[in-house]
Amino acid sequence: MAYELMYVVRPTVDEQTLASINEKVEKFITSAGGEVVKRDDWGKRRLAYPIAKFTEGFYAVLTFNFSPTAVRDLERALKLTEQVLRFIVVRLEDA
């Protein structure tokens, strides 16, 4: 199934840590049998409302194919990643 993941990383992380988080997310998807179709880094953007006293964050959007049963594991891994402020996983309609 096709999914889209958007996540926001704390604005205080350096470029190396941000790259490490992005790589970790992609590696999690591929190691669980998924395939990343598209990656779109939006860079640092202003948040609509403060989250954990932050008003900005680094946005990233991934489109990927993944097993429906493994999505819960991905969400759990993102919740445990301290630098990720928010995330959302949405199933895409079949084209």
Q: Give residue limits of the domains in the chain.
A: 13-91
Query: What is the reported pTM?
Result: 0.92
CA distance 89 to 4: 6
Q: What is the structure's pLDDT at 27?
A: 96
CA distance 59 to 45: 7
Per-residue pLDDT of the chain (95 residues; tens, 9 = 90+): 999 999 999 999 999 999 999 999 999 999 999 999 999 999 999 999 999 999 999 999 999 999 989 999 999 999 999 999 999 999 998 75
The domain over range 13-91 is classified in CATH as 3.30.70.60: yes
Please give the angle made by the CA atoms of 40, 68 and 23, to the nearest 5 degrees: 35
Q: What is the structure's pLDDT at 44?
A: 97
